Amino acid sequence: MAQSLAQIYLHIIYSTKQREPFLGDVPLRQEMHAYIAGTIKAYGSHPLIVGGTADHVHILCTLPKTETYAKIIGESKRNSSKWIKTKNPKLSDFHWQNGYGAFSVSHLLIEKVRTYIQNQEKHHRVKTFQEELREFLIKHHIEFDERYVWD
C-alpha cells in the first residue's frame, strides 16, 4: 500500500489527584474541557468530545498516525494542569493523577461513547469514579492491582 491510512478512536479517562473536586465550578470545568480539546488537537488528534465531572475527565478522540497515546495524554495533563493554576490562586494545588485509562473504541460505538460522556453528571449520581474505572478495566480485560490504581 502506497499510503499509510488509519482511523483509531480512543476513550481516555483520568482523574484529579485523590479525586479532589477541583472542577466543581461548571463554567471552569467547561473551560478545562475546551483547553484539553485544544491541547490534544495541537498534537494531531481530533477530539470528538471532552467531558466529565468535578473530579475526572473523559476524552473521545482519534489517535494520530504521528503520536503515541501516551504522549497525547501526558501533554494534555501537563498543559491543562499548568493552565488551570493561572485561573485562580485557589487552584495552585491542582494536579491530575499519575495514571490514566485508555481504551480502544470501534467506529460503530462512537455515538454510544459520546452519549456516555455527555451524561457523566447523571451517571455519577449513582456510581463513583472508582466504580466506573473498575468496570472499564474489567470489561476490557485489563489486569490491575488496586494498590496501584489510585493516587
Question: What tens-digit pLDDT sequence spans the chain (151 residues)?
Answer: 688 888 999 999 999 999 999 999 999 999 999 999 999 999 999 999 999 999 999 999 999 999 999 999 999 999 999 999 999 898 999 999 999 999 999 999 999 999 999 999 898 889 888 888 899 889 889 898 888 887 7
Provide the pLDDT for residue 60: 98
Q: Is 17 exposed, middle or buried (0-12, 13-18, 19+ CB in 10 A)?
A: middle
State the Cα–Cα distance between residues 151 and 133, nearest whole angstrom: 13
Of the candidates 22, 13, 10, which has an alpha carbon nearest to the alpha carbon of residue 132? 13
Looking at residue 40, the DSSP 8-state letter turns out to be H
At residue 83, the 3 state secondary structure works out as helix
Given a contact cutoff of 8 angstroms between Cβ atoms, the answer to whether 67 and 44 are in contact is yes
Element (H, E) at 13: strand 8-15
Global pTM? Answer: 0.92
CB atoms within 10 A of CB 83: 17
CB atoms within 10 A of CB 5: 7
Provide the pLDDT for residue 100: 94
Given a contact cutoff of 8 angstroms between Cβ atoms, the answer to whether 98 and 131 are in contact is no
